[in-house]
Amino acid sequence: MKKICLFVLGALVLLALPVPVHADEPARYNFASAQGDKELKIPPGQEGKGYIYFYNIDGNRITHITLEVGQAPSGWDVIITPPLSETQVIVSGLPVTVTENLFIEPSELLTGEPQNIPEGMVSIKVPGRGYALGKVAEIIFKVPESAPLGNTGAIVIAAEAAWLGQTGAAAVKQARDFDFSVTIVSESTEYTETVVGKVEKTDTAKSGVTQPEKPEVVTPTPSPPGESGGFSALFIAIIAGVVVIMGAIIVFLLIRRRR
């Protein structure tokens, strides 16, 4: 009887001990993200910004995220904010230092857009579901002055999510890339057109410009004797001869009647 009482007492003591949150739930890892504009236009010597949003509405573990520049054009500066830093975490009573850019704690899905947003967080619209509170990483692209207009630079931001195990080490990891495309454009967006002068005539083959053909001018030349002009003079002479002969015949007949 004494042994039974001791067993029941021990069981009650165990039940009274505090248990960690989610200890009785299977681990759910969530690396949810959304990307802002993927294509940007930046003038030479200027900078532009891209945005990557992270949230955690389907997991029950904190998501630790590290970001790095996986690809960028030579001579460009790409800055990630927040930068890489160390975060102190307590895992099952053990202090652990995690190197990361940001961490995302589990949160609930909201049916409407939140009005009061905690500092350091943003409201993210989840298509077809609602809204979530999350965090944003800002990517700054600095284009050099020498970048030619019209060129396009490809930038890749590599992200890795990690979830800690009981010992404080990363038990699960997941990687994902975010692609950005930056086109180099003129700083002025206003349309302008200026005539700088006339273009001197150059060889068509060298200039690559087709010159308009000059119209062909045909000047009529007089017909030489014996051709079309001679035919007209001969016809007039024949007519004159016929008239003279007929006049002689008429005169002869008139004289003969008088006799």
Q: Could you tell me whether strands 32-35 and 102-104 are parallel, antiparallel, or unpaired per DSSP bridges?
A: unpaired
- Average pLDDT of the segment spanning 228-253: 71
Question: What are 75's two structure tokens?
Answer: 């001579």
Q: How far apart are CA 125 and CA 134, in angstroms?
A: 10
Q: How far apart are CA 86 and CA 102, in angstroms?
A: 10
pLDDT digit string (tens) for 241-255? 777 788 778 877 777
pLDDT digit string (tens) for 43-99? 999 999 999 999 999 999 999 999 999 999 999 999 999 999 999 999 989 999 999
Confidence of residue 223 (pLDDT cuts 50, 70, 90): very low
Question: What are 164's two structure tokens?
Answer: 């800690």
pLDDT digit string (tens) for 63-75? 999 999 999 999 9
Q: What pLDDT shows up at residue 259?
A: 58
pLDDT exceeds cutoff 60 at 20: no
- Average pLDDT of the segment spanning 182-192: 83
Q: How far apart are CA 155 and CA 182, in angstroms?
A: 8
pTM of the model: 0.65
Lowest mean pLDDT across 107-116, 193-202, 211-220: 211-220
Cα distances (Å, whole numbers) of residue 142 to 35, 148, 151: 19, 14, 14
Domain 24-184 architecture: Sandwich (2.60)
